[in-house]
Amino acid sequence: MSTVTWITVRGLFGRRRFLLLLPLPVLLVGLAVLSRGLGVAPADWGPPVLVGLGLAVVLPVVALIVGTGVLGAEIDDGTVVHVLTTPLPRWQIVLPKLAVAAGVTAVSVAVPLFAAGLLADSVRLGVALAVAASVGALAYSALFVAASLLTRRPVLLGLVYVLIWEGLLSNVVTGTRVLSIQHYVIALADRLAPTNLLSTTVSVAVAAVMTALIIITATFLSIDRLRSFSVAGETS
Amino acid sequence: MTATNTAPPAAITASTLDLAGVSRWYGNVVAVNNVSMSLGPGVTGLLGPNGAGKTTLLHMMAGFLTPSRGQVTLDGRPTWRNPEVYRRLGLVSEREAVHSFLTAYEFVLATAKLHKLPDPQAAARRAIDLVEMADAQDRRIGTYSKGMRQRTRVAAALVHDPQVLLLDEPFNGMDPRQRLHMMELLHSLGDAGRTILFSSHILEEVEQVSGTVQVMVAGRLAASGDFRTIRRLMTNRPHVFAVRSTDDRALAVALMAEVSVTGVELGRDGLTVRAGDYGAFTRALPKIALARGVRVRQLVPEDESLESVFSYLVEA
């Protein structure tokens, strides 16, 4: 484990905001177990729980908490200067932090989604959701790590993207789905385990290309912004 | 006004930090205005009131802020967007930012590893010993006093043995003993040929640690060099001397005839003499005393303190 990874993991799990990761995955599994236990048809509870809660809320919100936590929190409290006053090439700082964010998000979301998919349909759907969510975790993390370096309010920017762009606009204006990670994840999961429970107008090809594009662009942007990292100076 | 810095000992490869016409503005606010300086080995104090632009200047020196105009270079290479400079540069920022969940040893060791030092454990122990934190090194930083946290950050900044060390208000939060130790540490680092720059708005700190100052006032470099030399170059301000002799009254009468003297005050503890020309007065005084048969027992420049230099510059 690199030193940057070690500090990032210690920092992430040492902050109280880490506890925010627990309720949403627990709620997801709890609702799936409850629906299955009550004998509700998967066609009725599957879309709202798997997509409406799992992919539209749990995945992006957990990614937002973790993605802005690995770098944004260090920028907020100034500890990032400790890592930056070393001769490490900036990609050696961004990539481990991105890996930690994507890994923690993937584990936090893929496991409950696998369980929910299994309860709704099959192991195949569970695996498909877990794999697609992991890819989505990487894309969201890249986006939110970049947001930490682009703005002083990355959580606000992330919430606007998740709630307004993906939650509201992509349901009203279908064209905006081309720029929605949530719909890429749905398209990828549906490709891995075709089912009526998942539906999107975004093709798998578009989803794959756009996901790769977002990950690469956001990562390069993060590295470049970190090279030009400025600390706030006195102005009075 | 410029006075020369102290010469480097031969033991350490000297590094020079150069600022050439550096300005930095935020919208309409000019934080740093056309500052040029060259910092060589030794301890230099960056002095100025709050809001003078010291932190902005330090951030630009450390590569954490791009100048709006001008250039900052370390040994000829720009500090901005150049992580390689941190092989030779250490920074202790004013903001008390440390990973409170780590112990001091873990923190300094992590820094040594980030620098990819060949023996990070030994480097961490050496740096912790240097700041006298060995006894508390296994406690979490979150449990430390402000001064202990500051020393831990200094240890982290020194772990790779940098040639240049920048410290922003390093004495903040330290008790008198810790302050004295830090001053001794900065002295020894400077004497060893390192380039040390520390900022402070407290005159006594700068006066005790460094004879060489860079004085910032309202974003501008108001003066640069040895503060005693700066004072002597301020010829528009009369120099004030306290003089005690075997016959103060007779000496006062004689001094009034000296052209370099602008005023003499006879007090219970001797004379207070105001001289327009430092050199002319100090050369004339022995001759006058000798001619009048008066023995001078004490001659002390009263306004050569950094405080008086600073107040003159701020008032100017």
pLDDT band at B171 (very low <50, low <70, confident <90, very high): confident
B6 has a pLDDT exceeding 70: no
pLDDT digits over B92-117, tens only?
A: 988 767 888 899 999 999 999 999 99
Residue B7 lies in a domain: no
Helix H, strand E, coil C: the string for chain B is CECCCCCCCCCCCCCCEEEEEEEEEECCEEEEEEEEEEECCEEEEEECCCCCCHHHHHHHHCCCCCCCEEEEEECCEECCCCHHHHHCEEEECCCCCCCCCCEHHHHHHHHHHHCCCCCHHHHHHHHHHHCCCHHHCCCEHHHCCHHHHHHHHHHHHHCCCCCEEEEECCCCCCCHHHHHHHHHHHHHHHHCCCEEEEEECCHHHHHHHCCEEEEEECCEEEEEEEHHHHHHHCCCCCEEEEEEECCHHHHHHHHHCCCCEEEEEEECCEEEEEECCHHHHHHHHHHHHHHHCCCEEEEEECCCCHHHHHHHHHHC
The reply to whether B203 and B248 lie within a common domain is no
Chain B residues touching A7 at Cβ < 8 A: 99, 102, 110
Residue type, B277: D
Using a CB–CB cutoff of 8 Å, tell me whether B89 touches chain A. yes
Using a CB–CB cutoff of 8 Å, tell me whether B95 touches chain A. yes
The reply to whether B102 and B204 lie within a common domain is yes
The reply to whether B71 and B167 lie within a common domain is yes
Which distant-in-sequence residues (6+ apart) come within 8 Å of A13 by Cβ? none
How far is it, in rounded angstroms, from Cα B216 to Cα A95? 40
Which distant-in-sequence residues (6+ apart) come within 8 Å of B101 by Cβ? A10, A11, A14, B140, B141, B142
At residue B237's C-alpha, the angle toward residues B234 and B243, to 5°, is 105
Q: For chains A and B, count residue pairs whose Cβ atoms are closer than 8 Å.
A: 93
Query: What CATH number has the domain bearing residue B266?
Result: 3.30.70.100
Q: What is the mean pLDDT of the segment spanning B264-280?
A: 88
Distance from CA of A219 to the nearest CA of B (A): 17
Q: Are B84 and B97 in contact (CB under 8 A)?
A: no
Position with higher pLDDT, B202 vs A72? A72
B2 has a pLDDT exceeding 50: no
pLDDT at position B235? 63
pLDDT band at A168 (very low <50, low <70, confident <90, very high): confident
How far is it, in rounded angstroms, from Cα B169 to Cα B47? 10
Residue B1 lies in a domain: no
pLDDT digits over B22-42, tens only?
A: 999 998 899 999 999 999 999
Using a CB–CB cutoff of 8 Å, tell me whether B285 touches chain A. no
Distance from CA of B95 to the nearest CA of A (A): 7
The tokens describing A71, both together, are 């770098």
pLDDT digits over B210-236, tens only?
A: 778 898 888 999 888 887 777 666 666
Q: Are A44 and A131 in contact (CB under 8 A)?
A: no
Option in A83, A87, A231 nearest B64 (CB): A231
State the helix-helix crossing angle for A204-227 and A181-192, rounded to 10 degrees: 140
The reply to whether B104 and B187 lie within a common domain is yes
Residue B125 lies in a domain: yes
Residue B8 lies in a domain: no
pLDDT band at B208 (very low <50, low <70, confident <90, very high): confident
Residue B287 is part of which domain span?
A: 234-315
How far is it, in rounded angstroms, from Cα B23 to Cα B21? 7
The reply to whether B53 and B162 lie within a common domain is yes
Residue B9 lies in a domain: no
pLDDT digits over A67-78, tens only?
A: 999 998 889 888
Using a CB–CB cutoff of 8 Å, tell me whether B24 touches chain A. yes
pTM over 0.90, yes/no: no
Residue B3 lies in a domain: no
The tokens describing B174, both together, are 């330290």
Residue B2 lies in a domain: no
Position with higher pLDDT, B90 vs B240? B90
From B172, B206, B226, the end of a domain falls on B226
Chain A residues touching B113 at Cβ < 8 A: 3
From B226, B251, B282, the end of a domain falls on B226
The reply to whether B222 and B251 lie within a common domain is no
The reply to whether B205 and B59 lie within a common domain is yes
From its phi and psi, is residue A48 left (phi > 0), alpha (psi between -120 and 50) or beta? Answer: alpha
Residue B14: Cβ within 10 Å count: 18
B91 has a pLDDT exceeding 90: yes
Chain B residues touching A90 at Cβ < 8 A: 83
The reply to whether B131 and B245 lie within a common domain is no
Which distant-in-sequence residues (6+ apart) come within 8 Å of A44 by Cβ? A35
Complete DSSP assignment for A30-44: HHHHHHHHTT--HHH
Task: Tell me if ipTM is over 0.95.
Answer: no
The reply to whether B58 and B183 lie within a common domain is yes
Distance from CA of A224 to the nearest CA of B (A): 9
Domains of chain A by residue range: 3-227
Number of domains in chain B: 2
How far is it, in rounded angstroms, from Cα B264 to Cα B271? 7
Could you tell me which of B165, B47, B30, B142 has the C-alpha nearest to residue B96?
A: B142
Burial class (CB in 10 A: 0-12, 13-18, 19+), B1: middle
Q: Are B201 and B37 in contact (CB under 8 A)?
A: no
Helix H, strand E, coil C: the string for A170-191 is HHHCHHHHHHCHHHHHHHHHHH
The reply to whether B55 and B186 lie within a common domain is yes
How far is it, in rounded angstroms, from Cα B32 to Cα B16? 20
Asked whether the CA dihedral B110, B112, B114, B118 is positive or negative, the reply is negative
Residue of A nearest to B29 (CA): A235
The tokens describing B211, both together, are 């004879």
The reply to whether B140 and B251 lie within a common domain is no
Query: What CATH number has the domain bearing residue B100?
Result: 3.40.50.300
Option in A11, A85, A88 nearest B99 (CB): A11
B164 has a pLDDT exceeding 70: yes
From B226, B253, B269, the end of a domain falls on B226
How far is it, in rounded angstroms, from Cα A180 to Cα A178? 6
Chain A residues touching B108 at Cβ < 8 A: none
Distance from CA of A95 to the nearest CA of B (A): 15
Interface test with B, best of A85, A93, A229 (most B CBs within 10 A): A85
pLDDT at position B176? 77
Residue B296 lies in a domain: yes
